[in-house]
Each structure stands twice: as structure tokens, then as C-alpha cells.
With several copies, the nearest count.
Chain A
């Protein structure tokens, strides 16, 4: 049985994994780069091992150093979280070789599903519908240009080894083809060390709906229903909800069965996600499988009533699934909002910096998974996700109302963030109706970025507060109490000149 786990990750997911381990009485080991010595996962774990310089290629992606830390700390198992090494088949294989349990699928399942073209073939054989388009991994620019010409625009260029929106470009106009192709390949090279890409027909007005699955080592595979993930910016999700507002019961069953079939096709083990692209007529196509925990897994946890990390660990222990498909039910509705340190008004530019104040929302139906604290400096080397707000309600309207309340209660000062942008999404007509596509952000940009008005009174109160704070500062520095001024004559003369005004 697993008694000690190394978490090969950082940020909110590392903290979240440690929480479930702690509940199970499992000791935890954090790993950290130079930039992360003060990060929450280091503070929260029982032990912490340094694994290298700040760039992730030298630390969180450095298999040797992580294995070294695992051996030094004598762990039974490694949990990879999401991102970093979580979908690296070599890492899964290496753990096995070293006699350490990898909490996730086998090298075989990861590599089969990680290579988009192979995955496509396996899905076709398993009877799971795939996106219309030309298969084949493309390594030369000429070949790519020819294929795009064959399929016809619009197309989506995707990094063959990719994920998480990196190395992905949508091409609509002929003149964008070359630059998009180059940008996608350059990004893929940087992120994955492989610049080959993959080209697919682009589906207009698509929904992005994924199914959570769990598979044990004894051939039991279940799905835990869907997550609607169509609200995206820069091809990255920012809001997810479950149940999907567009699925019917029948369609849900059908897609769930296909998700289970997809997992079975690679002898999957652990928690995984089958992503589907769904058009406006509810035709759906296999998009990819994420062979790890998803960022948005908590909405499933809330609505289905499970702890997915605990399930992962039980599976890695070799236990049979204790959940049965026919006993699972979606109770109520849950929404996740991803809080990023970024500037929505400046094309969602990441915004690292020091967090000076955080106000976290609490109360009925509200869960926050985060990792920042007051005084913490968000490093510039990693993903700008700083917290996830997960809200439950009796129905979709209830959880929408509650999410609005929670976002209003949520405050972060010191770094630019997207809290206000998220609040605007909750008030957007199209989102409220529930029939939005992956173009939602783009199509509602004006509404979503509109500045909130602050009425005259509110503005005056802001002005008065700054004024009174300034007066207090000057009073403290007034001549009568000059002993407090630390001998700073420059300050003094300025105060004097101010007082004379």
C-alpha cells in the first residue's frame, strides 16, 4: 500500500494532491525549483526536495532530478499532477523501472494517446467517431501547405506532441497560413522539443465537451459524466461547468459509452479524460484523450460526490473501483472559474508579481483551490493559473447566482487578474442562456471588456479615501512629531511646502 508520495508538480494542483494524501494518512514529498522555495506546496508538504533552477526544463521536467529526490525520500509512488511530466511516457516507464508506482497510466497508454495520429487510428478502430480531416504527422512546411490546400480552410494546426493550447493555431485566411504554421511549429519546438504538427478540418461553432473516466487494474472502467469546456481564450479553458447545458440524457449516455470504449481501447488505468468536439447538431467527435487529472476535475468531484485524487491512489494501490456506473448520478450543477494572473485588457498577457492582498470567498456551495498567499511573489516561469473557484448550486441558475456572488467576494491585489472578466462572463446573455461555443469570448469581447461604471458617489468616495490617507501620512510627519521622521530632511521640506499650500 502506498504510504509516501512524491508530488512531481507545483502550484494549486500540488497542494490539492497533498491534501488528499494527508487525509489518507499518506506522507508527502514536494519538489521545488529555485523560484519556488517559498511556494505553498513546499510549505504544505511533509518534506521538500530541491530539484534545480527555475526554468521548468531544468526542474519540473527534469526526470533525473525528480527520480533522485524520490529515491532520497524513499517514496512508494509519484503523482505527476497535470502538465509537466504527467503525459510523458518515458517518465511513467522510468518510474516503473525504478520500482516506484506512477500514479497514472502505463507508458503504452500515454504514448498511444499522446500521439494524435495514433490515437485517431485507435479510436477509429474502437468505433469512436473522430474529427473529419486528413490524418498524418507533418514535419515539412511544404507538405503542410499542400495538405491545408487539400482540406480547405478553415483548418486547425496543432502540435503533434501538444496539449493545453500550446503550439495550436486556427487558420481562416490564405494569407495567414504561412505565419501561423511557423508560429505553431516554433511554439511546439519550445514546449515539446518536436515541431511536427497535425492538421484538421476546423469545426464551426463547436462545443468542447469532455468525459471523466476512471479505470482500475482489473478491467473496470466507468465514466463520471461530462464537463462543458467551451469558454476558452487563446485556446485555453477558463470556465467549465457540469452538466453541460446542451446535452440530452440520451446523448450523454451515448458519449459516456464511447468514452469508456476509448479508455478500454488502450487498456487504460487511472483517471483520464476523453475530449469531444460537438457541433450545433450535437454530432460529436473524439478530439484527444488527456491521460491525467484535468485542471477542471473538481466540478465532477462536486456533482458526482467523489475525490478523484483518492480514486487515483486507490487504483494505483491495485484496488478495485468502489464506484459502480449505475449508482452514479449528477447532483445539482457546478461551475469552475479559473483565476489567472493575467491582463484581459491586454490580450490576456500573463502578469507575475507580488500578491499584496487576497480575499477568498466562502460559504455554502463554494470551494477554492489555490496556492497563493499574501506576500507571495508569483514566479514568471510557470503557468499563470493562481486559483480555481468551484461553485455548486441546486441547478444551473442557482450555481450561476452563487458564482456571481463568490466572484464579487473574491479580491486579489498586487497582480493583475481576470476576476472582473470572469464576473462579466457570468453576466453575459449568451452564457446565461447556456448555448455558447468556443467562439464565445471572441464574439463577446466588447461586452466582456467593457469597463464597469463607478457612479459619481463611488468615485468621490475613492477620491476622499486617497485624500484622507494622504492627510494622515502628512499629519504623522508633521513638525510636532518630527522625532518620528527618522532624520529625513528631504521628507520634512516637502511636508512643509505642502502644508503651506
Chain B
């Protein structure tokens, strides 16, 4: 039984070679690991590899093939890749629009002030909009020079997480 598993930019091939009780023999990109693999409770695992103790926690992601994996001090987004994922990944790529940037609200909040107007040219670092959430005001700034092509909210409006706020078109394609 083998799959491709994606972690950050790495796509590793993982194969289950053998299993006997808690002892598991598995290969990652050809490197074999004999692990003592134990489930503690829902989503929590203890792994001993060459006597090193690893504690991992898995939180289900947005679909059945995605996980957030937490180690002692780090958090990773991991995805199991199968034919379906590959197809979707390819399709998604083609719809990306490179010269445009949509500023979205990272968390729910309220629009305090809109500092720009539609059609206005903005400089890198210029504040576009101020959002208040959890008693903290955050200024959203342009990362590069560009033009405001749309403003999708109004002042004093409540916004949801990921709601689109301002759409910019960048002047040039420089990173």
C-alpha cells in the first residue's frame, strides 16, 4: 500500500511494507523505518523510532485527505495525494490570475476606515483599509505599487473571515 504525501513543497512516496501489532515497517522515499506506533486517543499518537520518542497530534483538515500535524513545537499541513487530488491541483493552477491581488479579511471583524478610493494609485506600504477585530485595529497595506480596481466593503460594515475587501492590480510583475 503506497501513497504520495505532500508536506510543504516536498512530495514523498510512502509505502507500508509490514505490520505486526504496534511494530510498523514503512518506507519514505525508499528509506525504511521500523516504528513502534501507538494511538493514545483520538488523533494523538506516540511513536518510538530508534528509541526516540515522538508525540504527534493529527487534526482533520478541510477534506478527508488533509491533516494538520502538530509535533512538540511545530505545526505542519500534510496532504495525501491520489489521482483526484492531482486532477484538482492541475485545474486550480490554471485559474490563478497573476497580476491581480485580493485583500481579504483574515478573521471576522468590522471595517473602521477605507483609506483609498476606487481607481486610486497606491504606493508600496500605503494603508488601504483598517479593520478592527478582538479590540485591535489592523492596517492592511499594499505590498507593491498598484491601482485599486475594486472596493468590496463599506465603512462600519461587519466582515466575515476570508471576505474580499479590496482588489488591487499591480503595476508591474516584479516580485
B80 touches A47 (CB 8 A): no
A463 and B28 form a contact (CB under 8 A): yes
0/1 per residue, A458-499, Cβ < 8 Å to B?
111111111111110100000000000000000000100110
Given A413-B70, A473-B64, is A464 in contact with B134 using a C-beta cutoff of 8 Å?
A: no
Q: Which residues of B contact A282 (CB under 8 A)?
A: none
Specify which of B7, B78, B109 is in contact with A380 (CB 8 Å cutoff): B109
- Asked whether A463 lies within 8 Å of B106 as measured between CB atoms, the reply is no
- Bound together, the chains give a CA A341 to CA B106 distance in angstroms of 13
Residues of A close to B64: CB separation below 8 A: 473, 494
Contact A42-B84, Cβ < 8 Å, known A408-B72, A466-B5, A471-B16: no
Determine whether B82 belongs to the interface, using a CB cutoff of 8 Å to chain A.
Answer: yes
Cβ-based interface call for A46 (8 A)? yes
Query: Would you give the shortest CB distance from A431 to chain B, in whole angstroms?
Result: 18
- Tell me, rounded to whole Å, the shortest Cβ–Cβ distance linking B11 to chain A: 10
Write the chain A residue with the least CB distance to B36. A37
By beta carbon, the residue of chain A nearest B135 is A383
Contact of A462 with B7 in the complex, beta carbons under 8 Å? yes
Residue interface bits A336-348, CB-to-B below 8 A is 1, else 0: 0000010100110
Contact B71 A48 (CB under 8 A): no
Give per-residue flags for B59-86: 1 if the beta carbon is below 8 A from chain A beta carbons, else 0.
1000011011111111110101011100
A residues in contact with B5, CB < 8 Å: 463, 466-467
Number of A residues whose C-beta is below 8 Å from B?
71
| Interface 0/1 of B96-114, CB less than 8 Å to A | 0000000000111100110
Question: Which of A143-151, A222-230, A350-358 lies on the face that meets chain B?
Answer: A350-358
Q: Are A380 and B108 also in contact (CB < 8 A) when A43-B46, A467-B26 are?
A: yes
Main DSSP-derived SS at the B contact region: strand
Asked whether A464 and B33 contact (CB < 8 A) given A37-B22, A179-B127, the answer is yes
B167 within 8 Å of A by Cβ? no
Indicate which residue in B16, B31, B65, B74 contacts A452 across the interface (CB closer than 8 Å): B74
Q: Does A194 contact B (CB under 8 A)?
A: no
Q: In this complex, what residue of B is CB-closest to A469?
A: B58
CA distance A450 to B67 in the complex (A): 23
**Interface 1/0s, chain A 376-405, versus B by CB < 8 A?**
100011111000000000000000000000
Count the B residues whose beta carbon is within 8 Å of the partner chain — how many?
69
Contact pattern, B 17-48, Cβ under 8 Å of A = 1, otherwise 0: 00000101010100101011110110111111
Query: Given A459-B7, A459-B10, A463-B5 in contact, is the A352-B108 Cβ separation under 8 Å?
Result: yes
B120 within 8 A of A: no
Cβ contact within 8 Å between A466 and B67? yes
Contact at B53–A45, with CB atoms within 8 Å?
Answer: yes
B5 smallest CB distance to A (angstroms):
5
**What CA separation (Å) do A212 and B143 show in the bound complex?**
43
Are B48 and A183 touching (Cβ within 8 A)? no
Besides the contacts A383-B134, A470-B67, A471-B1, what 20 more A-B pairs have beta carbons closer than 8 Å?
A38-B46, A42-B53, A45-B53, A47-B53, A48-B53, A72-B51, A166-B135, A183-B127, A183-B130, A375-B40, A411-B72, A460-B33, A463-B5, A464-B14, A464-B26, A464-B47, A468-B37, A494-B84, A497-B83, A501-B82
Interface, chain A (partner B; CB < 8 A): 29-30, 37-38, 42-49, 56, 72-73, 166, 179, 183, 186-187, 190-191, 234, 341, 343, 346-347, 349-352, 356-357, 373-376, 380-384, 408, 411, 413-414, 419-420, 423, 452, 454, 457-471, 473, 494, 497-498, 501
The 9 closest A-B pairs by CB, nearest first: A375-B41, A350-B134, A466-B78, A460-B28, A467-B14, A47-B51, A466-B67, A463-B5, A465-B56
**Interface CB pairs A-B, < 8 A, 16:** A29-B51, A38-B40, A166-B135, A179-B127, A186-B112, A352-B107, A357-B59, A375-B40, A380-B109, A382-B134, A382-B135, A454-B71, A463-B12, A464-B37, A467-B3, A467-B5
